[in-house]
Chain A
Amino acid sequence: MSTATSDHTSAHAHAPQTEGHHEEGEVHVHVNSPLFMIAIFAALIVLTVMTVAVSYVDLGSANTFVAILVATMKATLVATFFMHLKGDKAIHSIIFIGAFVFLIIFVGLTNDDLSTRSAVDIDNGSHRLERSGDIAPGGLRIPAAPAGTTPSAAGAAAPAEHH
């Protein structure tokens, strides 16, 4: 094995960018030059310095947006070049991006749940939606609601009482 390996690797080392000399069934990979990888690292450092510098400037809610955007750019560089997704089988990229798709579904549904939950209205023995003050769907009804008063009209007065 050792002779075969050294023959193989010396051929490989002399021409790291060529792939054609492999036998059938051997592992084929694209080998990046060290200089290229150092350039990617330099780009990652530049982005890190940028994101730290921006954090000292108050941009309001844009700070969060910039931070996540720069982080995503860095993550893309690492995944594409250090983790070799570029030039790799498409299935690896699909699995990787798929994880983030499911993460977005996770965030979306959890946020939808939390933001539409009702708060307990102790005074009236019911549940009310936090934002509109309306009685929550499926929640308890106010027993002594006057005739002709819609739940939303009753709810409109509710936030004033509780604040």
Chain B
Amino acid sequence: MSSATTTEASHSPVEGGHGHGQHAPFLAHHFDTPAHQFDSAKLGMWIFIATEILMFGGLFVAYGLFRGREMEMFHQAHERLDKIMGAVNTVVLLFSSLTAALAVRQSQVGDRKGTTRWLIVTLLCACIFLVVKFFEYQHKFHDGLLPGHYFTAHLAQHAHHGHVLPYRAHMFFALYFMMTGLHGVHVLIGMGVLSWALKRNLDGKISGRYFTPIEIGALYWHLVDLVWIYLFPLLYLVG
């Protein structure tokens, strides 16, 4: 992503040294070749992805260790989640990963319209995901299954039908909200990154020689998909 900003800096008139006829306009001054620039951007993105995995890793470790000690409670609490909604969102995210990869492919072969089309489809999938998530959250809010001291389901359950939550069920829902919440924030950021990539494509900055913004944006989006690939079975399926 930084390479894009430096690309624009290379158009600055105060930059001296050589004329711009000598190299492609997208090539920043501190890179020798387009390949050098592309490889540097991708290396940086992969290191960032590693840090993201470790950030989510903290939550996954908390999930694993609490679950190991509260097997029965986790299993009973997870039945409050909607498997069907989770599965629909899984399919939506997997499809959006496909369309993001297709956007990258079209940018690589220089098909600007195709890139635009697939990026828009990807963004629409992201919106569908968030709408489904909204209805899931709304239902949990209504049931008082909120994290921390906002958890009020144990007060309401006597008045409601016979769904009795196990002791310490708030631990499960705290993890549920923290994990899906952090993931949801990543969906929003991913939409921002893809929108920025879309804008660069519409501005004509993307070509078969320079598609780094699409590639990097898609890598971020695939990361969002990867996290959900683990969240879905662990929270919705096995509990």
Q: How far is the CB of B72 from chain A (nearest CB, A)?
A: 13
Least distance between A33 CB and chain B CB atoms (Å): 8
**Distance in angstroms between the alpha carbons of A54 and B53 in the assembled complex:** 27
In contact, B57 and A103 (Cβ under 8 angstroms): yes
The answer to whether A103 touches B109 (Cβ under 8 A) is no
Contacts of B47 in A (CB 8 A): 95
- Are A48 and B208 neighbours in the complex by a CB distance under 8 Å? no
CA distance in complex: A91, B46 (Å): 9
Contacting pair B91 A100 (CB below 8 A): no
In the complex the two chains form, is A9's CB within 8 Å of B49's CB?
no
Query: Which residue of A has the minimal Cβ distance to B212?
Result: A27
| Interchain CB contact (< 8 A) of B233 among A13, A26, A71, A78 | A71
Q: Are A67 and B61 in contact (CB under 8 A)?
A: no
Find the B residue at minimum CB distance from A44.
B94
The answer to whether A37 and B102 touch across the interface, beta carbons within 8 angstroms, is yes
The answer to whether B238 and A63 touch across the interface, beta carbons within 8 angstroms, is yes
The interface residues of chain A lying within 8 Å CB-to-CB of B233 are 51, 55, 67-68, 70-71
A149 contacts partner chain B, Cβ-Cβ < 8 Å: no
Chain A, Cβ-Cβ closest to B111: A13
Q: Which residues of B contact A31 (CB under 8 A)?
A: 105, 108-109
Chain A, Cβ-Cβ closest to B38? A27
Contact B83 A52 (CB under 8 A): yes
Question: Would A8 and B208 be within 8 Å (CB), given that A48-B91, A55-B233 are in contact?
Answer: yes
Q: How many residues of A contact B (CB 8 A)?
A: 59
Contacts A31-B108, A92-B43 known; A5 to B207 CB distance under 8 Å?
Answer: yes
Q: How far is the CB of B28 from chain A (nearest CB, A)?
A: 14
Q: What DSSP secondary structure best describes chain A's contact surface? A: helix
B29-76, CB < 8 A from A: 32-36, 38-39, 42-43, 46-47, 49-51, 53-54, 57-58, 60-61, 64-65, 68
The 8 Å CB contact of A13, one of B36, B110, B237, is B110
A78 touches B222 (CB 8 A): yes
B65 touches A41 (CB 8 A): no
A residues near B25, Cβ cutoff 8 Å = 1
Interface centre among A26, A41, A55, A82 (most CB of B within 10 A): A82
Q: A34-B105, A38-B98 are in contact. Are A103 and B60 (CB under 8 A)?
A: yes
Interface string of A33-64 (1 = CB under 8 A from B): 01001101100110010011001000000011
Q: For residue A13, which residue of chain B has the nearest CB? A: B109
Contact status A78-B61, CB under 8 Å: no
CB distance A110 to B229 under 8 Å? Answer: no
For the complex formed, measure the closest distance between the CB of B141 and the CB atoms of chain A, giving whole angstroms: 25
Q: A25-B33, A34-B105, A52-B87 are in contact. Are A8 and B94 (CB under 8 A)?
A: no
User: Would A95 and B46 count as touching, CB distance under 8 A?
Assistant: yes
Given contacts A37-B98, A111-B65, contact A26 B33 (CB under 8 A): yes
Over the window 81-96 of chain B, the binary record of Cβ atoms lying under 8 Å from chain A Cβ atoms (1 yes, 0 no) is 0010001001100110
A-B CB proximity, top 8 nearest: A9-B110, A25-B33, A67-B233, A55-B237, A99-B50, A9-B208, A99-B53, A41-B98
Taking A16-B108, A75-B229, A103-B60 as known contacts, 17 extra A-B pairs with beta carbons closer than 8 A to each other, sorted by chain A number, are: A4-B209, A5-B209, A13-B110, A24-B33, A25-B32, A34-B102, A40-B98, A45-B94, A67-B233, A67-B238, A78-B97, A91-B43, A91-B46, A92-B42, A96-B50, A99-B53, A106-B57
> B residues touching A (Cβ–Cβ < 8 Å)?
24-25, 32-36, 38-39, 42-43, 46-47, 49-51, 53-54, 57-58, 60-61, 64-65, 68, 83, 87, 90-91, 94-95, 97-98, 100-102, 105, 108-111, 204, 207-211, 218-219, 222, 225-226, 229-230, 232-234, 237-238
What would be 8 A-B contacts, judged by CB atoms less than 8 Å apart?
A: A8-B209, A9-B207, A25-B33, A37-B105, A41-B94, A41-B97, A70-B233, A99-B51
